[in-house]
């Protein structure tokens, strides 16, 4: 069981390829008459920080002080990235603006939750000598107090030999510091002198083998990892293996043997998208290792964080509260979706920035039944993210009487969160959800058919913003109160 989220003893410096991830969402209903291609009916689009910027965003979300160094173009994506990073609390004084190349941008076209196409706008050749000198100087300046350096290599030409040397120069003088690289490309030899590599299985198996590789020996992940640790003088390699979890290969003190630790994948309801998962792994294990955790515990923490981000379409981060729920040990990870009001508002704002349509519904949800499932599934179909707000126990007693709720709030919330079509659950203590609706600002407000529109709390708040209020017809004969009365009646007859 991994420990709670650690605190780094100082700032963490992130260096590497800064990317603007642009998302275009739409609907596909027909094939073009001009060519055998699908026609996307545009609905919305949004930007997200990617690459080294996403690593920095993950660290900031975990409460870390972060300095970022890299290159962006003097263009609209570069300016947007700087504003987004600054707003998240990332120090961008080490980011160099250049006229030599555009900001690396990846445009992903998505319909029905599936990626249809990706368009890359990038330059892959190494940065100019002038930009290299400016970046090396920035790394020395902003990374002076850093307790760790995380290098995010997307093979866009930023992590040159001189830049990598600048990242490892400080740690050579101060043994307490850590240098981690999320690698790219076939030449792992250029990372000689770093402490930790975090390749995925495919990257490791495609990497060029050092000359020490014994001819004719069986090639495997374990053998390659052990060879890389010894040949490059690494402290460890963490290999991410998708549905097979992770494998950590650590050099023992003698450097003669390498110890392997397998970390199984945490089960989720569904994996929606692996975009950015490697960034999350690098950020989380880097933070944890810099804070002094044993690497095996740090890797387990990173595994939990990666399990959170793959449940969301598009580049995203694992925030501290959600990660804390996951590492508490809930096997289903349902409680990771039960958030405080503050965390919920932040997650909804993040989803809205990505173009998501937010749906909100509320109720007591005591004794979950098929009528509730009908309501929730209909509600989720009206948007991209469903928030379910439930009354606290005291509020339920006020509404339903002294013998209710039958199920306490924490258990009601976890039951709802276990449903695949529910994205987040929040418990509100007030008599009505009005304050919560004002904070969340949903695009769609949904209630069951036992309400008329003028009885729905928050209707005016939503409609003033141009939102929609939807009443879902109630299934006949189904209500929690009737179920409770039936149970009590049977109980009386049984006595």
Encode pLDDT of 147-181 as tens digits.
999 999 999 999 999 999 999 886 655 544 799 99
Q: What is the pLDDT of residue 103?
A: 98
Is the separation of the CB atoms in 54 and 131 below 8 Å?
A: no
Q: What is the pLDDT of residue 8?
A: 87
Q: Around Cβ 32, how many Cβ atoms within 10 Å?
A: 10
Those residues with Cβ within 8 angstroms of residue 390's Cβ, 6 or more apart along the chain or in another chain: 362, 363, 364, 365, 409, 412, 413, 416, 425, 426, 427, 428
Query: Each residue of 243-291: pLDDT tens digit?
Result: 888 999 999 876 678 999 999 876 554 444 455 688 999 999 999 999 9
3-state class of 306 per DSSP? Answer: helix
Average pLDDT over residues 96-125: 92
- Percent of the chain whose pLDDT exceeds 90: 55
Is the separation of the CB atoms in 84 and 49 below 8 Å?
A: yes
Q: What is the pLDDT of residue 491?
A: 43
Average pLDDT over residues 330-352: 78
pLDDT at 474 over 60: yes
Q: What is the pLDDT of residue 1?
A: 42
Is the separation of the CB atoms in 383 and 356 below 8 Å?
A: yes
Query: Each residue of 374-411: pLDDT tens digit?
Result: 899 999 989 889 999 999 999 898 888 887 888 999 99
pLDDT at 61 over 50: yes
Q: What is the pLDDT of residue 43?
A: 83
Please write down the HEC assignment for all residues of 207-252: CCCCCCCCCCCCCCHHHHHHHHHHHHCCCEEEEECHHHCEEEEEEC
* Residue 482 banded pLDDT, cuts 50, 70, 90: low
Alpha helices in 264-340 (DSSP H): 277-290, 295-309, 320-327
Q: Is pLDDT larger for residue 414 or for residue 275? A: 414
With DSSP H G I counted as helix, E B as strand and the rest as coil, what are the percentages for the chain, rounded to 5?
Answer: 40, 25, 35
Q: What is the pLDDT of residue 267?
A: 54
Residues 473 and 143: their CA atoms lie apart, in Å, by 59
pLDDT at 317 over 70: no
Q: Is pLDDT larger for residue 94 or for residue 473? A: 94
Q: What is the pLDDT of residue 310?
A: 63
Residues 286 and 299: their CA atoms lie apart, in Å, by 9
Residues 382 and 472: their CA atoms lie apart, in Å, by 11
pLDDT at 426 over 90: yes
Bridge partners, residue 471, by sequence: 447
pTM here? 0.77
Q: What is the pLDDT of residue 215?
A: 54
Task: Enumerate the active-site residues.
Answer: 279
Q: What is the pLDDT of residue 287?
A: 92
pLDDT at 34 over 70: yes
Those residues with Cβ within 8 angstroms of residue 176's Cβ, 6 or more apart along the chain or in another chain: 147
Q: What is the pLDDT of residue 4?
A: 65
Q: Tokens in use for 286?
A: 């880097």
Q: What is the pLDDT of residue 343?
A: 85
Per-residue b or e along 283-294, where b marks 16 or more CB atoms closer than 10 Å to that residue's CB: bbbbbbbbbebe
pLDDT at 315 over 50: no
Among the ranges given (67-71, 263-267, 320-324), the one the predictor scored with the smallest mean pLDDT: 320-324
Among the ranges given (210-214, 468-472, 483-487), the one the predictor scored with the smallest mean pLDDT: 483-487
Q: What is the pLDDT of residue 452?
A: 78
pLDDT at 494 over 50: no
Sheet arrangement for strand 385-391: 424-428, 385-391, 358-363, 444-448, 468-472
Residues 399 and 391: their CA atoms lie apart, in Å, by 10
Strand 258-263 versus strand 246-251 pairing type? antiparallel
Q: What is the pLDDT of residue 448?
A: 85
Q: How many residues does the chain have?
A: 495
pLDDT at 357 over 70: yes
* Residue 314 banded pLDDT, cuts 50, 70, 90: very low
């Amino acid at each position: 069981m991994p420990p709670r989220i650690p605190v780094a003893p100082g700032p963490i410096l992130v260096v590497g390829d800064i990317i603007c991830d642009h998302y275009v969402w739409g609907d596909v209903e027909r094939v073009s008459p001009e060519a055998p291609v699908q026609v996307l009916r545009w609905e919305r689009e949004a930007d997200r920080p990617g690459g080294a910027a996403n690593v920095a965003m993950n660290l900031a979300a975990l409460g870390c002080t972060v300095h970022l160094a890299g290159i962006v173009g003097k263009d609209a994506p570069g300016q947007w990235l700087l504003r987004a990073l600054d707003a998240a609390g990332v120090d961008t004084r080490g980011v160099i603006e250049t006229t030599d190349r555009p900001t690396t941008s990846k445009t992903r076209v998505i319909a029905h939750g599936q990626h249809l196409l990706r368009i890359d706008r990038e330059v892959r050749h190494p940065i100019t000598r002038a930009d290299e000198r400016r970046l090396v100087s920035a790394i020395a300046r902003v990374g002076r107090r850093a307790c760790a350096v995380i290098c995010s290599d997307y093979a866009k030409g930023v992590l040159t030999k001189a830049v990598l040397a600048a990242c490892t120069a400080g740690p050579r003088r101060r043994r307490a510091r850590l240098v981690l690289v999320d690698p790219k490309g076939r030449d792992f030899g250029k990372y000689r002198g770093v402490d930790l590599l975090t390749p995925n299985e495919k990257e490791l198996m495609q990497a060029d083998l050092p000359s020490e590789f014994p001819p004719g020996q069986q090639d495997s992940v374990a053998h390659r990892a052990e060879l890389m640790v010894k040949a490059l003088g690494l402290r460890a390699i963490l290999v991410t293996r998708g549905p097979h979890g992770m494998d950590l290969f650590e050099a023992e003190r003698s450097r003669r043997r390498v110890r392997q630790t397998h970390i199984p994948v945490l089960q989720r309801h569904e994996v929606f998208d692996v975009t950015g998962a490697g960034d999350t792994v690098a950020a989380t294990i880097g933070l944890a290792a810099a804070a002094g955790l044993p690497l095996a515990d740090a890797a387990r923490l990173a595994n939990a964080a990666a399990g959170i981000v793959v449940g969301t379409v598009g580049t995203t981060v694992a925030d501290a509260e959600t990660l804390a729920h996951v590492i508490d040990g809930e096997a289903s990870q349902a409680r990771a979706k039960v958030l405080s009001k503050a965390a919920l508002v932040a997650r909804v704002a993040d989803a809205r920035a990505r173009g998501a349509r937010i749906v909100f519904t509320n109720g007591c949800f005591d004794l979950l039944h098929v009528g509730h499932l009908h309501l929730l599934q209909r509600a989720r179909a009206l948007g991209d993210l469903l928030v379910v707000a439930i009354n606290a126990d005291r509020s339920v007693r006020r509404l339903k009487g002294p013998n209710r709720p039958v199920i306490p709030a924490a258990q009601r919330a976890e039951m709802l969160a276990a449903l695949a079509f529910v994205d987040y659950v929040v418990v509100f203590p007030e008599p009505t959800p009005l304050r919560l609706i004002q904070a969340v600002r949903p695009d769609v407000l949904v209630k069951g058919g036992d309400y008329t529109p003028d009885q729905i709390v928050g209707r005016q708040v939503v409609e003033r913003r141009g939102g929609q209020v939807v009443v879902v017809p109630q299934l006949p004969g189904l209500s929690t109160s009737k179920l409770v009365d039936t149970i009590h009646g049977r109980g009386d007859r049984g006595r």
